[in-house]
Amino acid sequence: TWTTASIVDEQVAAIREQVGGRRAICGLSGGVDSAVAAALVHKAIGTQLTCVYVDHGLMRKGETEQVEKDFVAATGVQLRVVDAADRFLSALAGASDPEQKRKIIGREFIRVFEQAQAELVAEAGAAGEDVAFLVQGTLYPDVVESGGGTGAANIKSHHNVGGLPEDLDFELVEPLRKLFKDEVRMVGQELGLPEEIVQRQPFPGPGLGIRIIGEVTRERLDLLREADAIAREELTAAGLDRDIWQCPVVLLADIRSVGVQGDGRTYGHPVVLRPVSSEDAMTADWSRLPYDVLARISTRITNEVAGVNRVALDITSKPPGTIEWE
Ligand code: XMP
């Protein structure tokens, strides 16, 4: 549309003017905001931008590949992927308290990102160039909310790529500062980003790490990743993606219950489906998903995911429940 195209033109001009001949770095999270911000900045300054994606090993099935392959193919950005899964898992070993897990993930993320940033600056320095800018996908509601400091931020310590501490040496580039989420999606579409990225539902920065109730281990992550992929597949197949805000799948890793499968007794873990409808995530209602869709998800998860023998449905609104369990 005219409006979307003009937003792109306006921002491209503004970014060129701000960055000039220098270089910028952008952290990609796999989410819509950082992807669109990066695509806009890339359109403006091309190879002067380098993107960094920290793979914390807590992403859902296929999401890292989506960034590495599809996003790069669609935009042509220079991308560095830092495989930090081992480091995050070691740091998380023994931690089962929600806030402790959030803090560990946030802390490790900043360390890994800063290291990648320092390497880039060192390399560029040798080439006599100046990495002076940090791109962030801050949206208009973020700008407003951080002024207030009330609400969800006080309930859970949020981690996201947009929340990196501002390094004093870097000037921020925030091309989405005046936009709302739906406008960001339209800009992403205008820039030719893949549908799966542009229409992606919200996913928390700490990833599956806060959807495993209990300690985070590689085996538990693998299990949850499979269950989550099945739920997503079935919701998409049923055409429900646009009807729900998101549907976390939560693994109750410290709880086991008795089941029966074939001729045998099982003693496995439950997963909880948490489909919610919401306008802005501040409040939410549990989604009345069709029974046949719920049935398919339940049958498939218990058949296909070894170790999970029970599927439960969370029917709590927010408040009193938050959307995520941790
Ligand atoms: P809650 O659980 O507070 O979640 O009702 C509200 C919305 O925020 C998402 N969420 C996060 N997003 N970093 C994020 O970028 C985080 O640390 C984080 N924690 C929760 C959650 O998925 C929901 O959409």
According to the model, what pLDDT value does residue 71 have? Answer: 97
**Are 101 and 227 found together in one domain?**
no
Q: Which amino acid is at 280?
A: D
Q: Which residues pair with 271 in a beta bridge?
A: 251, 311
30 is in an annotated binding site: yes
Same domain (yes/no): 191, 226:
no
Q: In this predicted structure, which of 98-107, 160-169, 232-241, 285-294 has the lowest mean pLDDT? A: 160-169
Rounded average pLDDT over 305-314: 98
Q: 62 in a domain, yes or no?
A: yes
Structure confidence at residue 1 as a pLDDT band (50, 70, 90)? low
Q: For the residues 236-258, what does the mean pLDDT come to?
A: 97
Tell the residue number behind the tokens 């909310």, with chain if given: 145
Last residue of a domain, one of 175, 198, 221: 198
Position 149 scores a pLDDT of: 46
Most ligand 1 atoms within 8 A of CB, residue of 63, 99, 158 to mutate: 158
Quickly state the pLDDT bin for 126 (edges 50, 70, 90). confident
pLDDT value at 150 more than 80? no
Residues 49 and 19 in one domain: yes
98 close to ligand 1 (CB < 6 Angstrom): no
Secondary structure (3-state) at 106: helix
Domain closes at, from 170, 198, 226: 198
Number of domains in the chain: 2
9 pLDDT exceeds 80?
Answer: yes
Report which ligand 1 atom has the smallest distance to the Cα of 324.
2
pLDDT at residue 148 above 60? Answer: no
226 falls in which pLDDT band (50, 70, 90)? very high
As for the ipTM of the complex, it is 0.99
- 29 annotated among ligand-binding-site residues: yes
Residue 69, C-beta contacts closer than 8 angstroms, at least 6 positions apart: none
Residues 163 and 251 in one domain: no
From 198, 232, 267, the end of a domain falls on 198
Same domain as 194, residue 232 = no
163 and 45 both lie in a single domain? yes
Is pLDDT above 70 for 123?
A: yes
Same domain, yes or no: 80 and 116: yes
Residue 3 has pLDDT above 80, yes or no: yes
Q: Is 31 annotated as ligand-binding?
A: yes
Q: What is the pLDDT of residues 82-104, one digit of tens each?
A: 999 999 999 999 999 999 999 99
* C-alpha to C-alpha distance for 212 and 234, rounded to whole angstroms: 21
Residue 183's Cβ-side half-sphere holds a number of Cα atoms within 13 Å equal to: 18
- Do 43 and 175 belong together in one domain? yes
* 318 located within any domain: no
Rounded distance between C-alpha atoms, residue 234 and residue 46, angstroms:
38
* Within a domain: 59: yes
Q: Which domain holds residue 177?
A: 2-198
